Amino acid sequence: MEESKFIEGLKRGDAKAYSDLYRDYVDKIGGIARSYLGVDDVEDVIQEVFVKIYKNIKKFRGDSSLSTWIYRITVNVCKDMLSKKHRRKEVLTSFGEEEDDDKSTIQEPADESQPSDELLKTISAEEIRRAIDSLPKEDRLLINLREIEGMSYEQISDIMDKPVGTVKSRLHYAREKLKGLLEGKREIEGEINDEM
C-alpha cells in the first residue's frame, strides 16, 4: 500500500491499517527499545509507542517518512523511561550509597571503521549480540539503527535530533568500541586455548 494512503487509513482509525502498522513495526520498535533500555522494558515501550502513534497520527504532517516519525517517537519514549528510572535511582541513592557518575566522552573520528570481516567470521551472532548489549545505550542505539535496521545517516540524524556529522562521529566510536570488545574476546579465548 502506498504510504500516503496507509497514513490516511491510520488517521481515519482503520483497524486493518493499525494491524498492518503493528505487524510492520513491532519488532523494529522492540529492537530499538532493547538496544536503548535492555530487555526488561521492551513491552512497555512498544505499548507506549503505539498509544502515542494512535493519539498523534492526526498531527503527522509528513515532514519526514512515517518510519522516521515512529522511530523518533520510540527514541523519545525510551529517553523518557530512562529519565524516570534515573530519577527513581537518584531518590533511592540519596538514602544510600553515592552514585558512580563516570561518563565517557566521544571525539571526532578520523575515518569510518567496522569490525574486520575475519573477526566477524569467527564470532557467533550471540557473541556479537552480547558485545552490543554491553555497549552504552546510545552506542547500542546507533549500531541498531545503522547496522541492523539499515537506516541512512540522515534518518538516524532525524530520529536522534543530532547533526549528521555527530551521528557519523558517534557511530564511528561505537563501532570502535564494539570492535575492541570483539577483538578482546578473541584474544582472551586464544590465551585460554594456548594454555590448554
Of the chain, the percentage scoring pLDDT greater than 70 comes to 73
Residues 91-105 have a mean pLDDT of 42
Query: Could you tell me the domains of the chain?
Result: 3-94 (1.10.1740.10), 117-195 (1.10.10.10)
Tell whether pTM > 0.75.
Answer: no
Q: What is the average pLDDT score of the chain?
A: 79
pLDDT tens, residue by residue, 16-41: 999 999 999 999 999 998 888 877 88
Q: Looking at residue 159, what is its pLDDT?
A: 87
Question: Which of residues 82 and 171 earns the better pLDDT score?
Answer: 171
CA distance 71 to 32: 8
**What are the strands, taking DSSP E only, across the chain?**
none
State the Cα–Cα distance between residues 23 and 115, nearest whole angstrom. Answer: 32
Helix (H, G, I), strand (E, B) or coil at 1: coil
Given pLDDT bands bounded at 50, 70 and 90, which one contains residue 128?
confident
Cell of 70: 515512529
Q: What contacts 95, CB < 8 A, 6 or more positions away?
A: none
Phi/psi of residue 64, nearest 5 degrees: -130, 175
pLDDT at 62: 86
Task: Read off the C-alpha cell for 19.
Answer: 494491524
Q: Cell numbers for 14, please give them.
A: 482503520
